[in-house]
Amino acid sequence: MRPRPAEWQLALPLGLAYAAFFLVPLLLLIVVSGFADEKITTPGLTQWRKFLGDSFTWKVIFDTVKLGALTVVATVLVGYPLALVCLGAGPRVQRVILFVVILPLLTSVVVRTFAWIVILGREGVINHTLLWLGVVPAPLRLLQTEHGLVIALTQIEMPLLLLPLLSVMSRMDPSLRDASAALGASRWRTLFRVTLPLSLPGLVAGCMLVFASATTAFISQFVIGGNRLVYLPLLIWQQSLVVYNWPLASAAALTLLVSVGFGVTAIAAVGRRSRAYAL
């Protein structure tokens, strides 16, 4: 029998590729942000001071985190009930729902963003309907507003919530729900005392993905939000590809990394807390 190769070595190619093309570039962000001038010759923290000393920056950071949080709330509000319906449905309906979840996920983000321009625009679906019903006298402004952007991001990011959620729900033991009902619990009580605690890991994982994706969704933010709504990705893009101030762009990118990391950690902490409370 030939000697068995050490299987852990098979992780080396991917590990080395990640080290060379992922880890080193990310570390480079830290290095470049530590240069004072745009030509990247003199080390110094001038750019960081300029960036974090500006009250506008803090407003942008706050708005970015807020956008992520609002999108998480909106996706959970309509996504969780959809997952519940999928859980209680027969195999045929389940397949339809899964298909409807995966199709948008595989449809380019740019296509989904474009769809929302058609829906939210001055002559879009919503304004057309509202005018026709006589609810409003003139077209509403929906593009370039925060709530318009949150509505669009709800659809754009919802598959990211639903996939981990449905994955965890499909592994739940249905007899627990039946037992809860048989013991006289109402459907609300079964939801909050049985289904929700059991599905929490999937819900938390989904919320993290939605938060991370919504805060970083540059094209959706830029096209639907317009120039008036400024989020961190727009700053990174402007500083790196328009102004060519790479140190400042790096500082903004690191700030985005930290903000997303902070938000994701906060979601995980809330998940742990509510788990302890529910059980």
Partner 1 sequence: MRVRDLSYSLVVGTLATVGFVVLIGPVLIVLVTSFTLGRSIKFPPAGLSLQWYQLLFDPVRSSQIHRAALNSVEVALVAMSVATILATLASVALARRTGPWVRALDTFFMSPLILPMLAFGLAALMYFTFLGFRPSLALIAAGHVVVVSPLALRTTSASMAQLDPALLESSASLGAGWFYTFRRVTLPVIAPGIVAGAFLAFVGSLDNVPISLFLAGPRSDMLPIRMWGMMESMLDPRVAAVSGVLIAVVLVLMLVMERVVGLTRRSLG
Question: Which residues 17-56 are close enough to bind partner 1 by CB under 8 A?
Answer: 17-18, 21-22, 24-26, 28-29, 32
Residue from the set 73, 118, 243, 270 that interacts with partner 1 by CB under 8 A: 118
98, 86 contact by CB (below 8 A): yes
Total of residues contacting partner 1 (CB under 8 A): 94
Contacts with partner 1, 228-257, as mask; x by CB under 8 A: -----x--xx--xx----x--xx--xx-xx
- Nearest approach in angstroms of CB 72 to partner 1 is 14
Question: Cα–Cα distance between 156 and 147 in angstroms, integer?
Answer: 14
Pick the stretch among 43-51, 54-62, 134-142, 154-162 that binds partner 1 (CB under 8 A): 154-162
3-class DSSP state of 36: coil
Question: Cα–Cα distance between 46 and 64 in angstroms, integer?
Answer: 24
252, 51 contact by CB (below 8 A): yes
- Nearest approach in angstroms of CB 108 to partner 1 is 4
Q: Within a 13 Å sphere around the CA of 129, how many CA atoms are in the beta-carbon half?
A: 7
Does 195 bind partner 1 (CB under 8 A)? Our answer is: no
Which residue, 21 or 277, is less far from partner 1 as judged by CB? 21
Question: Which residues 158-177 are close enough to bind partner 1 by CB under 8 A?
Answer: 158-159, 163-164, 166-167, 170
Does 107 bind partner 1 (CB under 8 A)? Our answer is: yes
Q: 186 Cβ partners below 8 Å, 6+ apart?
A: none
Pick the stretch among 47-55, 113-121, 142-150, 271-279 that binds partner 1 (CB under 8 A): 113-121
Does 78 bind partner 1 (CB under 8 A)? Our answer is: yes
Which residue, 10 or 278, is less far from partner 1 as judged by CB? 10
Task: Convert 120-140 to b/e letters by CB count within 10 Å (16 or more is b).
Answer: bbeebebbeebeeeeeeeeeb
Q: Is the dihedral of CA 123, 79, 219, 264 positive or negative?
A: positive
Question: Cα–Cα distance between 33 and 202 in angstroms, integer?
Answer: 36
The CA-based dihedral angle spanning residues 10, 12, 14, 18, taken in that order and rounded to the nearest 10 degrees: 170
- Nearest approach in angstroms of CB 186 to partner 1 is 5
Question: Cα–Cα distance between 77 and 72 in angstroms, integer?
Answer: 9
Residue from the set 10, 73, 179, 243 that interacts with partner 1 by CB under 8 A: 10
Does 277 bind partner 1 (CB under 8 A)? Our answer is: no
Residue from the set 57, 113, 180, 245 that interacts with partner 1 by CB under 8 A: 113
Residue from the set 73, 108, 173, 269 that interacts with partner 1 by CB under 8 A: 108
